[in-house]
Structure 1
């Protein structure tokens, strides 16, 4: 009887998935990144990428006392752009281009690794002996194949420069890319979008015609209702197509819709390295093990070892 009920339930789920525009539901998975636990959303075994988005971690909220601080030591990247978007807290970013900038809530830190860059992320000096909270999203966007070996770049966009507007009691922000007839100043390298929607009251959302390619919807807080089903916080819904149909956003909710045109080529990930060619990843790995990447000024003797070496 138990096997029959399970089979019936699975059959019902299959039928519902065929009728629904939601193709996959991904729950946050707790993952350790040293001193912190994060909620990992991408990559997922059944969905490695959504458009060009290849990695998403939900950090926190993490409460830290006056003796606890964030100290992510220098580590490398290739073949991607990183997008850091904070809800609470502050991070001091330093990299091998000579960048030293504090990331605050609402701002966008956009670092393009290209052929290789090294950066560190730490609690700023003025906050290191006080209580603080860290909460935000860490995102990787894969570069187009022809730009994987481009020169590294860095761009910081202040919160007030991110396009924001209100439409029928819905508050929108275009964090990156193009959507809804608007364009974010974040210098992306492929056709993509990352849109924040907030609502203090229950509202119907219908922006499907404004999107393109693949689309995912991440619920940070609150919930949505779609096609007779309710979805809550820490869930990523991957749509069958970018239309997403229409859905109801609950009162006091914050969601993120992201995606874009997918690449034709497969992407490989090894630690912090992303590429279409495993040979590029292997070369970067050996270069990091030999400590031949450029160094961050003032942090020349600190680095995160390649994980395989840490396990020995």
Structure 2
């Protein structure tokens, strides 16, 4: 077997606005993988008796990529300058194409902030091809109820984006990808994950233990998948494990990013900053 697992990386623990999160990507040894730019894993027990505006991330802009959030526990409220005000609960996904510019906020629902409880999310950033960076922004929610889910030899699979097992996610994207959440509580359960030969990607373990093409991986670690002759990665459960899979075709375009903007040149980023300050990305008042 031609092993597709290039390396296994420990996530870094970083402070983001007072919230401690796990960040496997970017990493000092790995800036990005194909179209995938960033992964942030946040798990926190909210104390309750808070206003939602006291928790999470307030209004901020984006341009040129898609920030996507999978909700594993709790609920997340999305508001944006398009007028959207929407809550996605555990098992669902918030997919936003920032396009030519949008302002949004990401906070726990009012109910979760007031009552308290566990909030666990992963946000990852997907680069948008140059041809679509200035498209109109859009918000694509995917609740648990409409997420395609099935079982395969002891593994539970929830398809976020792309095609798998003859099924197609309703989430539309500008680049060939397959994104899914996988979990198993059956030691020894094995599944082959299809990855086209010229695709790359990452597999991030939220918690638990597994092997990928025979290599051990544990919670808060990420495996990078390289192109190769083998058209699948073998995943075996060691003990109860949850995993996020991001795979896709390479995106061979220059990347210049600054804060919330991901473009191809420094001039494009400078223009994004000007446009934001000129109010061209709209307004969001909570």
User: Contact 1:50 / 1:259 at 8 angstroms: preserved in 2?
Assistant: no
- Deviation for aligned residue 1:210: 6.2
- Deviation for aligned residue 1:181: 2.9
Aligned to 2:31: 48
Aligned to 2:264: 276
Q: TM-score, length-normalised on structure 1?
A: 0.83
Q: Secondary structure at the match of 1:106?
A: coil
User: Contact 1:52 / 1:192 at 8 angstroms: preserved in 2?
Assistant: no
Aligned to 2:176: 191
Aligned to 1:65: 47
Gaps of 5+ in 2: none
CA distance in 2, matches of 1:71, 1:208: 35
Aligned alpha-carbon RMSD (Å): 2.1
| Match for residue 263 of structure 1 among 223, 244, 251 | 251
Aligned to 2:14: 31
User: Contact 1:218 / 1:237 at 8 angstroms: preserved in 2?
Assistant: yes
User: Contact 1:196 / 1:256 at 8 angstroms: preserved in 2?
Assistant: yes
Q: TM-score, length-normalised on structure 2?
A: 0.90
Aligned to 2:223: 237
Matches within 5 A, 1:148-227: 148-202=133-187, 203-208=189-194, 213-226=199-212
Change beyond 3 A, Cα 1:130–1:226: closer
User: Contact 1:178 / 1:191 at 8 angstroms: preserved in 2?
Assistant: no
List 4+ stretches of structure 1 deviating above 6 A: none
Structure possessing the higher relative contact order (Cα contacts under 8 Å, 6 or more residues apart) = 2
User: Contact 1:92 / 1:100 at 8 angstroms: preserved in 2?
Assistant: yes
Change beyond 3 A, Cα 1:267–1:176: same
CA distance in 1, matches of 2:245, 2:111: 34
- Deviation for aligned residue 1:212: 5.5
- Deviation for aligned residue 1:244: 5.2
User: Contact 1:180 / 1:210 at 8 angstroms: preserved in 2?
Assistant: no
Aligned to 1:7: none
CA distance in 2, matches of 1:272, 1:244: 34
Q: Secondary structure at the match of 1:188?
A: coil
CA distance in 2, matches of 1:121, 1:156: 13
Gaps of 5+ in 1: 1-18, 300-312
Aligned to 1:293: 281
User: Contact 1:77 / 1:273 at 8 angstroms: preserved in 2?
Assistant: yes
- Deviation for aligned residue 1:46: 3.1
Q: From the two aligned structures, give the one with the greater helix fraction.
A: 1
- Deviation for aligned residue 1:49: 2.3
What is the count of residue pairs matched by the alignment? Answer: 279
Q: Secondary structure at the match of 2:115?
A: coil
Q: From the two aligned structures, give the one with the greater strand fraction.
A: 2
